[in-house]
Amino acid sequence: MSYLATLSPAYAEIFLLVMVCAILIVDLFVASPNKTLTYLLVQLTLLGCSVITVGTHQHGVTHLFHNMFVDDLMSDVLKLLSYVAMSMMLVYSRNYLMVRGLFSGEFMVLALFALLGMMVMISASHFLTLYLGLELLSLSLYAMVALQRDSVPATEAAMKYFILGALASGLLLYGMSMLYGATGTLEVAAVSDAIKHGVENKQLLTLGLVFVVSGLAFKLGAVPFHMWVPDVYHGAPTAMTMLIGTAPKLAAFAFVMRILVESLQPLMAHWSDMLAILAVLSMALGNISAIAQTNMKRMLAYSTIAHMGFLLIGVLSGTVEGYGSAMFYAVVYVLMSLGGFGMIMLLSREGFEADTLNDFKGLNQRSPWLAFVMLLLMLSMAGIPPTVGFYAKFSVLSAAVNAGHIPLVVMAVLFSLIGAFYYLRIIKLMYFDTPESHTPISIQPDSGLLISVNGLAVLALGILPGTLMSVCSVSVRQSLLLQ
């Protein structure tokens, strides 16, 4: 077997990096203000990555680069979903950014660099690779938030994101160094083996775990490490907010699985208690704070915090069922968020941001179909059947019940009922209030088709969730070699 053939699990990452460099150069010669050629090249790159990921998939678990990189079913599924999320984000945001002069080659190149960081995180099997992927993603997002240089809110959001992100990265790196000091290795699987065979300095190991969980909680936006989420979601242009709130959550889920489940599984008794506290705090603060918001993006930010609490419930269950339901929840959350932020961008126009609750008043009178799609998205976020959001919450809570976390499930249901209020309020505004503006809603055909597919997918997956659920469960079981 040739050396190039042994690199096949990383072909997608290599192809993406080559294409990013090519697009960066080609964009210099694209004079068109709407960057059509650059946009098409980016979409073709995402398609190429999808083809390569499917074509190079191998059964079982394959390690590469001295066990620093892993190719398994979970990583391939999450990468394919990341490509789809990134492609949808570009379609939704194209017209929105174009009228604001932000649809530039820099935006698209940074988006692809962020995707490369996500892919490295998803396939990392070594603490150094995990950290490199995380920093590549984070630095790209910091730059994208600050891309609108003449906007004070965007610049302020970028500064907050950067400073708090650097602090969280420091916590994570410090925790990893403690784990290295306690176990003598940075390999994900080797750390688990070292803990199983006994570690002399257990205090150092536990302290490292605390720092690592803190860093993970920041990246997920869980309380009490959530401070950046509302400000960044609100201050950043909506296209950047969509990117931050969607595909990176898939990479963050993979990050949690690699560190907590693959590497620190022997310490599950410690980290499951920590995740339980984070989950309850996230659901409480997220759902209660969202009620008071008048800005749609801030409301969705607090909604994100609450949703991350539900995702953590699946992980702390400590079972294949729980991990599979958590992965399913992450995928469903990304689908719902793409639709929610996509709707804000579709209703926005030049010189106007449709990001307050009042902007959704009387939407049914202006566009019955868009109102229906938004209705489906809000019902799904609230977890009301027959949408997929209901099944996602049900599967996570079922796993927690089976693992014996009854009090946690009771609290989750109560906070979910509280959270239903602010989602149903949007539906009330759309269907029962008179519109504040009668300006015609102008939507590009590709965006209109995508938002329709997005909304109907939320309904279809709610009625027939079995295929996606089984894909998530099988990929987790095969990849993590769990029984």
Q: What is the pLDDT of residues 262-318, one digit of tens each?
A: 888 888 888 888 889 999 999 999 999 999 888 899 999 999 999 999 999 999 888
Q: Where are the alpha helices (DSSP H) in 146-237?
A: 152-183, 188-196, 202-220, 228-235
Which whole number is the average pLDDT over 199-224? 86
- Work out the number of other CB atoms within 10 angstroms of the CB of residue 244: 27
With tokens 């931050």, the residue in question is: 244
Domain that residue 80 falls in: 6-479
Which whole number is the average pLDDT over 2-17? 81
Chain Cα centroid distance, residue 287: 19
pLDDT of residue 458: 92
* Chain segment 466-478, per-residue pLDDT in tens: 899 999 999 988 8
Contacts of 473 (CB under 8 A, 6+ apart): 320, 321, 324, 325, 328
**347 falls within a domain:** yes
Task: Find out whether 329 and 311 touch, Cβ atoms under 8 Å.
Answer: yes
**316 falls within a domain:** yes
**399 falls within a domain:** yes
| Continuous segment of H or E residues that includes residue 348 | none
pLDDT of residue 483: 38
Which SS3 state, helix, strand or coil, does residue 70 take? strand
Task: Extract the runs of DSSP E, i.e. beta strands, from 333-472.
Answer: none
**23 falls within a domain:** yes
Contacts of 314 (CB under 8 A, 6+ apart): 322, 323, 325, 326, 327, 329, 395, 396, 399, 400
**64 falls within a domain:** yes
Report how many domains make up the chain.
1
pLDDT of residue 302: 93
Query: How many Cα neighbours within 13 Å face the side chain of 230?
Result: 20
User: With pLDDT > 90 as the criterion, what percentage of the chain qualifies?
Assistant: 43
pLDDT band at residue 433 under the 50/70/90 scheme: confident
| Continuous segment of H or E residues that includes residue 441 | none
- Distances in Å between the alpha carbon of 126 and those of 67, 252, 255, 479? 7, 15, 11, 15
- What span, in angstroms and rounded, lies between the C-alpha atoms of 81 and 50? 9
Contacts of 49 (CB under 8 A, 6+ apart): 12, 15, 16, 79, 83
* Chain segment 368-409, per-residue pLDDT in tens: 899 999 999 999 999 888 899 999 999 999 999 988 889 999
- What span, in angstroms and rounded, lies between the C-alpha atoms of 299 and 466? 30
* Chain segment 57-87, per-residue pLDDT in tens: 888 788 888 888 888 889 999 999 999 999 9
**1 falls within a domain:** no
Query: Is 436's pLDDT higher than 90?
Result: no
**91 falls within a domain:** yes
Q: Average per-residue pLDDT in the chain?
A: 88
**296 falls within a domain:** yes
pLDDT of residue 481: 61
Prediction pTM value:
0.93
- What span, in angstroms and rounded, lies between the C-alpha atoms of 16 and 3? 19
Query: Is 219's pLDDT higher than 60?
Result: yes
- What span, in angstroms and rounded, lies between the C-alpha atoms of 51 and 276? 39
- What span, in angstroms and rounded, lies between the C-alpha atoms of 88 and 340? 12
Which whole number is the average pLDDT over 438-459? 86
Listing DSSP states for 5-34 in one string gives HHTGGGHHHHHHHHHHHHHHHHHHT---TT
Closest CA to 112 of 43, 33, 25, 11: 43
pLDDT band at residue 2 under the 50/70/90 scheme: low
